[in-house]
Amino acid sequence: MKILILCTGNSCRSQMAHGFLKSFDNRMEVASAGTNPTLQVNQKAVEVMSEAGIDISHHKPQMVDKYLTEVWDYVITVCDHANETCPTFSGKVKKRLHIAFEDPSQATGTPEFIQNEYYRVRDEIKEAFFNLYEEEIKSQLP
């Protein structure tokens, strides 16, 4: 089972979803990429994922072009911009999904508010991807 998660910067939401999916079942091959990737994974995302017991500190943002010719069981966009600008895959994509989340890196306010936005989005991503795994993906795994 091959799953690609797409976002614009591939620094926060897609990296969290990538980390959670891999933690649910290591039989899945999971990758994440961006339509305009940043230079590094968002450090607040690394921090809140670590607090959830998942290490994404070794992840590196990737350009989606790297994956366009591969065959994917799922291509999942996690932000509206990536969904709107998602390139055409010349490889086969069995199922394309869009599950949008707010970008916590765009939050403004007190440090406490911003931190809580990262926690909120992290938890929303975990719940949505766990439900997808349990309800759809798990039954397709060998």
Q: What is the pLDDT of residue 9?
A: 94
Q: What is the pLDDT of residue 116?
A: 98
User: How many Å apart are CA 112 and CA 114, to the nearest integer?
Assistant: 5
Q: What percent of the chain has pLDDT over 90?
A: 89
Q: What is the pLDDT of residues 92-103, one digit of tens each?
A: 899 999 999 999
Q: What is the pLDDT of residue 81?
A: 75
Residues known to be catalytic: 7, 79, 86
Is the distance from CB of 7 to CB of 34 less than 8 angstroms?
A: yes
Q: What is the pLDDT of residues 31-70, one digit of tens each?
A: 999 999 999 999 999 999 999 999 999 999 999 999 999 9
User: How many Å apart are CA 122 and CA 15, to the nearest integer?
Assistant: 10
Q: What is the pLDDT of residues 10-28, one digit of tens each?
A: 999 999 999 999 999 999 9
Domains, the chain: 2-140 (3.40.50.2300)
Among the residue ranges 20-24, 36-40, 87-91, 108-112, the one predicted with the least confidence is 87-91
Q: What is the CA radius of gyration of the chain?
A: 14
Question: What confidence category does residue 91 fall into, taking pLDDT thresholds of 50, 70 and 90?
Answer: confident
Q: What is the pLDDT of residues 126-136, one digit of tens each?
A: 999 999 999 99
Q: In what order do the strands lie in the sheet with 72-77?
A: 29-34, 2-7, 72-77, 93-98
Q: What is the pLDDT of residue 106?
A: 93
End-to-end CA distance of the chain: 9
> For 29, how many CA atoms within 13 A lie in the half-sphere containing its CB?
8
